[in-house]
Amino acid sequence: MKKYNINTLLSILLTSVIMLTSCSDFLDTNPTDRLPADKVKTLKDAEKIVDGFYFTMKWNNYYGTPLMLLGETRGDDLRPRRESGGYQQIYNYEFTPSNYSYGDIWATAYNVIMNVNVFLNNWESIEATSDEEIAKKNDCKGQALAVRAFCHFDIARVYGYPYQKNNGTSLGAVKGNKVFTVGEQAERISVAETYNFIINDLTEALTLLSTDRKHGNLDYWGAKGLLARVYLYKGDYDNAFKHADEILTDATNPYSLVTNAQYIDSWEQPNSSETMLELLTSAFSHIDDNGGVDSWYYILWHGEGFSSGNLVPTDSWLALLDEDPDDVRHGLVKQGTDAGVNFRWLAKFRGNNGDGDFKINNPMIMRLSEIYLIAAESALMKSSPDQNKADFYLNEIRKRANPAAVQITATVDEVLKERRKEFIGEGHRYYDSGRLGLTINRNTPDNKLPADSKYKIVDPWNAEGNQYQVILPIPQSQRTANPAAFQNPGYPD
């Protein structure tokens, strides 16, 4: 009897040991308020994850502020209104590896890339059976690839020299083709390799993406537009033209230019007919954690009883606009006054809802107008120039601004001039000068540069001179954490 008791108890004991140790699940625990990345199964989750990419891109560490700020403040379209106002650092190219208080694009872009790659790793396990579901699943992957390309493109143009400066032989991005573990190091690839990676991603994305129009997400057309832009930056005008022209000539393209009559209002109405990608904001989803106060649009806004307007259009840009008094885009510039000083400020981004809440503004990433101007420029530059197409596409934009405008013959200069007028505030100008190696003249009477500034005339290709700050440094913390990724030339290291 006693023996029996002991044996029973021992066997209970042993069984419980075996049960628990053999149960490998015992050590796999998960929280209930967060979704483990490796447990993503449903299409619905996949779509939310894809939305998450754009959610991060719109943040005030990326498109919501610094990408725009760097694209404009380094150029000649916008200038600080006052001697001090917070943007002198960027205006005067005072970049150092340890100070990137304007926003860490490097880290944010790689955060998005990591999100993409984690998703791509789990993509196969998303359940889809019907054709419709499979199409959606493919579309998710297409968006992920296109977003990844987008981020690499931004890293290349912010941290790498322009492709055409030296055929992309300088340092570009770290190739984000996988999920890096915390602490894992990797080298930078060249700008050319970065462009190849981008083009590969976009080419694959185009085979997967839906041609249905989307809002706040990339669709087939957006990705194709990005591909056209990438080829334009690369100087591959044949391909730039091919893709831009294909968009514009495809009858199924759901986008169309906003009309002259709609133009001003379209800036306070999300999802205008030509919006190919804007990032979504709302009262529940600001650009920052601060109710929108740290957004790009707050910097520009002046308005009644509100004295920001820290960056205003330059005299040279205003002169361009003033060339045609009937240009509809005059409606985007307002007269302001502060401390007895009169000035004109850019009232382009007036809030999503037309209620003047400029803190809630969808960052505009790509519009059909850009595709027109890419097509115009590349038509002139491609191996077999097509003046007719160039004239057509350029004049479409000019006539939209003023239907009475006279037809002109397209030249690259005219296209670039039109780009300045059309895209002010959308973060293109500096990169346009950069990709073509055009000097930027900021030595004008209205500049607020320090007297000894080296950057009164900016030569984005002349980094060998003393203008090494024409591209941004890799953040010092990254040089420390990832010494395999080298610093850009000229910066202290």
- If one asks whether residue 416 binds other proteins (CB under 8 A), the answer comes out as no
Interacting residue with other proteins among 11, 15, 51, 337 (CB under 8 A): 51
Dist CA 481 CA 476 (whole Å)? 9
- If one asks whether residue 176 binds other proteins (CB under 8 A), the answer comes out as yes
Distances in Å between the alpha carbon of 194 and those of 99, 148, 197, 298? 26, 11, 5, 33
CA 57 from centroid of its chain's CA atoms:
7
Dist CA 221 CA 218 (whole Å)? 8
For other proteins, give the closer residue by CB, 31 or 445. 31
Instruction: Tokens 């990724």: give the residue.
Output: 485
Interacting residue with other proteins among 68, 69, 90, 113 (CB under 8 A): 113
For other proteins, give the closer residue by CB, 89 or 477. 477
φ/ψ of residue 154, rounded to 5: -65, -40
- The stretch near other proteins (CB under 8 A) out of 43-51, 146-154, 371-379, 424-432 is 43-51
DSSP character string of 353-413: TSSS-TTS-PPEEEEHHHHHHHHHHHHHHSSS--HHHHHHHHHHHHHHH-TTPPP----HH
Dist CA 191 CA 263 (whole Å)? 37
- The stretch near other proteins (CB under 8 A) out of 99-107, 304-312, 315-323, 363-371 is 99-107
Interacting residue with other proteins among 104, 246, 396, 446 (CB under 8 A): 104
For other proteins, give the closer residue by CB, 6 or 406. 6
Dist CA 194 CA 173 (whole Å)? 6
Interacting residue with other proteins among 11, 37, 256, 289 (CB under 8 A): 37
Q: Which helix (H) or strand (E) holds 333?
A: strand 333-338
Q: How far is the CB of 150 from other proteins (least distance, A)?
A: 16
Interacting residue with other proteins among 107, 128, 416, 438 (CB under 8 A): 107
320-379 residues in contact with other proteins (CB under 8 A) are 362
For other proteins, give the closer residue by CB, 1 or 451. 1
Dist CA 160 CA 171 (whole Å)? 6
- If one asks whether residue 238 binds other proteins (CB under 8 A), the answer comes out as no
Interacting residue with other proteins among 45, 193, 338, 446 (CB under 8 A): 45
473-492 residues in contact with other proteins (CB under 8 A) are 475, 477-478, 480-482, 485
- If one asks whether residue 439 binds other proteins (CB under 8 A), the answer comes out as no
Q: How far is the CB of 172 from other proteins (least distance, A)?
A: 13
Interacting residue with other proteins among 186, 319, 408, 457 (CB under 8 A): 186
For other proteins, give the closer residue by CB, 50 or 240. 50
Q: What 8-state DSSP symbol labels residue 124?
A: G
- If one asks whether residue 97 binds other proteins (CB under 8 A), the answer comes out as no
β-bridge pairing 311-313 and 275-278? unpaired
Interacting residue with other proteins among 60, 73, 92, 111 (CB under 8 A): 111
Q: How far is the CB of 19 from other proteins (least distance, A)?
A: 10
- If one asks whether residue 31 binds other proteins (CB under 8 A), the answer comes out as yes
β-bridge pairing 171-174 and 188-190? antiparallel
Q: What 8-state DSSP symbol labels residue 348?
A: -
* Residues 359/292, Cβ–Cβ less than 8 Å: yes
Dist CA 315 CA 292 (whole Å)? 28
Of 296, 270, 265, nearest to 352 by C-alpha is 270
Both tokens assigned to 220? 């087939």
249-308 residues in contact with other proteins (CB under 8 A) are 280-282, 284-285
Using CB under 8 A as the criterion, which residues of the chain lie in contact with other proteins when the complex forms?
Answer: 2, 5-6, 9-10, 13, 16-17, 20-21, 26-38, 40, 45, 48-49, 51-52, 54-56, 58, 104, 106-107, 110-111, 113-115, 118, 174, 176, 179-186, 216, 280-282, 284-285, 362, 475, 477-478, 480-482, 485
